[in-house]
Amino acid sequence: DTAVSQTPKYLVTQMGNDKSIKCEQNLGHDTMYWYKQDSKKFLKIMFSYNNKELIINETVPNRFSPKSPDKAHLNLHINSLELGDSAVYFCASSQGGSVAKNIQYFGAGTRLSVL
């Protein structure tokens, strides 16, 4: 069984559309994350939730809205997609406690292409 799974793996859409990426972890972890990796391979944290509560919220356009229905799921909804949103988005989870210490387990990524 995949520990951290993201769907879809690929997402191609037009500018202005709204899309969602889903993430689920079966590791029993308390903390989940969303990262964005751009074409230059920079990996930047976007959000982090601990037990369904937002604990990290980086400088991200408010078109991006994370939603955590339970601690095993952290979905990412993006409104009014722009060309610059094209990237690979990674979901991750960790056990909880000190965010700075915890080892993160990453999903395989969702490659978003905005046309």
Partner 1 sequence: LAKTTQPISMDSYEGQEVNITCSHNNIATNDYITWYQQFPSQGPRFIIQGYKTKVTNEVASLFIPADRKSSTLSLPRVSLSDTAVYYCLVGAPGAGSYQLTFGKGTKLSVIP
Question: How far apart, in whole angstroms, are the C-alpha atoms of residue 19 and residue 11?
Answer: 9
Task: Decide if residue 99 touches partner 1 (CB under 8 A).
Answer: yes
Closest listed residue to residue 94, CA positions, set 37, 55, 43, 44: 55
Task: Decide if residue 83 touches partner 1 (CB under 8 A).
Answer: no
Decide: helix, strand or coil at residue 51.
coil
How far does Cα 29 stand from its chain's mean position? 15
Q: Which is nearer to partner 1, 14 or 40 (CB)?
A: 40
Contact string 21-60 vs partner 1 (x = CB under 8 A):
------------x-x----xxxxxx--x------xxxx--
Residues engaged in binding partner 1 (CB under 8 A): 4, 33, 35, 40-45, 48, 55-58, 90, 92, 98-101, 103-109
